[in-house]
Amino acid sequence: MDLDIPADVTTFVAELNAFIDAEIKPIEEANPEYFDHRREFSRTDVERGGIPTRRWREILHEARVLADQAGFYRYPLPAALGGQDGTNVAMAVIREALAGRGPGLHAELSHEASMVANAPLALVLHEYGTPEQKEQYLERLVSGDMEMAFGLTEPDHGSDVTWLETTAVRDGDDWVISGAKRWNSVVDVAEVDLVFARTSGQDGKAEGISAFLVPTDAPGFEVPFYWWTFNMPTDHAEVRLDGVRVPSSAMLGEEGRGLDCAQLFVHENRIRQAASSLGAAQFCIDRSVAYTQERRLFGQQLRDYQGIQWQLVELQTEAELVRNTIMRTAWQMDAHGRTSVSDKVSMVNVRGNRLACDAADRAMQIHGGVGYSRHLPFEHIYRHHRRYRITEGSDELQYRRIAASMWGFRSTS
């Protein structure tokens, strides 16, 4: 294993940073209220349930289009989608570098928006879609001309997805779907929702769950409210499906094998979350180190106090250990397949996401009162990355996957 970052990836990151400075930062400067201490208030449409404002969506889309036109956005996608088949190693480096710049339009992770695509649903559609489904949705999804939501979690079922209660019953050439979904992100602007429902089999078994591309304007598809969360704005909908009828052509992948689609979605995201969390943690560490050299306390620089030094030394040591393990895990994924080291992916997911929360918390403490304010980015980083310890599988679910590898039992999550 070559531990050096490939030269082409180093070049890509340098060119990406130059693009962000030249094309993306000016957008932030022209819209300061969306990026300073007022950001949540400017981005949140309180009157429409706390979802992102139309203007904020427009800003995100504008940056995405610029990145696509410049050749950066599709980098990790397959060549068939206009991408460069970016490796897991490359994406780990890129995601860390983007988050390492600190919060901004270049990697607005509260919406999983980035100048380099994190588009697991495009990969799912590319892998499992029929020619007709790809023709109808795929290019528009990649270009940003449409959005697709992901409906797996339910009011009574999160990590225990094999117990979901949403059902789909065949009626002639159609399927009739009934049930409810929770944290159904992006529904406020989505054209279709990828809904998982049991079509056969027994509760607790992965077999028998199917995936459907459900139009969000279909009769019986309702959004009663959006959940207000620790990090705002929110696009996490509560969805009800009351006898929603879709044709058989709406099924994505094989009947009864829908969780294959879900596994591809979350597995891609888990290691990328870890890399982003590492980048955010390194940003917090670097900013704190710089502050300790500027701030004076009782006539001495803050850096001269061992109580401060050791907090940051501990974080930097953990960051280096996480970084090395992420890179090795990404290399193994590239060499042996995406799901070959799922236990290692879970390990770096847990440690990376915890590190981001710890680093943001300590940065707030080291910066004192101003660190707790919205005028510095640490509270924003904490609120976002705290979410990562739940999404794409909670810390506890990651432990279950690790245990499955250690004791040789099967994990379906």
pLDDT for position 53: 97
pLDDT at 412 over 80: no
What distances in angstroms separate CA 262 from CA 91, 149, 223, one per listed residue? Answer: 20, 12, 22
Provide mean pLDDT across the span 382-390: 94
Class for the domain spanning 7-125? mainly alpha
Q: What is the pLDDT of residues 322-358, one digit of tens each?
A: 999 999 999 999 999 877 899 999 999 999 999 999 9
Q: What is the pLDDT of residues 69-80, one digit of tens each?
A: 999 999 999 999
Q: Which residues are catalytic?
A: 392
pLDDT for position 306: 93
DSSP letter, residue 133? H
| Residue spans per domain, the chain | 7-125, 148-256, 259-407
pLDDT for position 1: 64
pLDDT for position 413: 56
pLDDT at 411 over 80: no
Outline where 175-257 has alpha helix (H).
none
Q: What is the DSSP string of 26-90?
A: HHHHH-GGGTSTTHHHHHEEGGGTSEEPHHHHHHHHHHHHHHHHTT-TTTTS-GGGT-----HHH
Q: What is the pLDDT of residues 110-160, one digit of tens each?
A: 778 999 998 889 999 999 999 999 999 999 999 999 999 999 999 999 888
- Residue 233 has phi, psi (to 5 degrees) of -70, 175
Residues in the chain: 413
Dist. CA 214–CA 245, nearest whole Å: 9
- 296-297 and 300-301 strand pairing: antiparallel
Residue 391 structure tokens? 């999404």
Provide mean pLDDT across the span 189-213: 97
Provide mean pLDDT across the span 271-279: 95
pLDDT for position 340: 82
In CATH terms, 148-256 corresponds, of 2.40.110.10, 3.40.50.1000, 3.30.479.30, 3.40.50.720, to: 2.40.110.10
Q: Which residue from 140, 230, 133, 255 is spatially nearest to 190, judged by alpha carbons?
A: 140
Which CATH number applies to 259-407? 1.20.140.10
Q: What is the pLDDT of residues 38-93, one digit of tens each?
A: 999 999 999 999 999 999 999 999 999 999 999 999 999 999 999 999 999 999 99
Q: Mean of the per-residue pLDDT values for the chain? A: 94
pTM of this prediction? 0.94
Does 148-256 match 259-407 in CATH topology?
no
Model confidence at 180, pLDDT cuts 50, 70, 90, reads: very high
Q: What is the DSSP string of 343-390?
A: HHHHHHHHHHHHHHHHHHHHHHHHHTHHHHSTTSSHHHHHHHHHHHTT
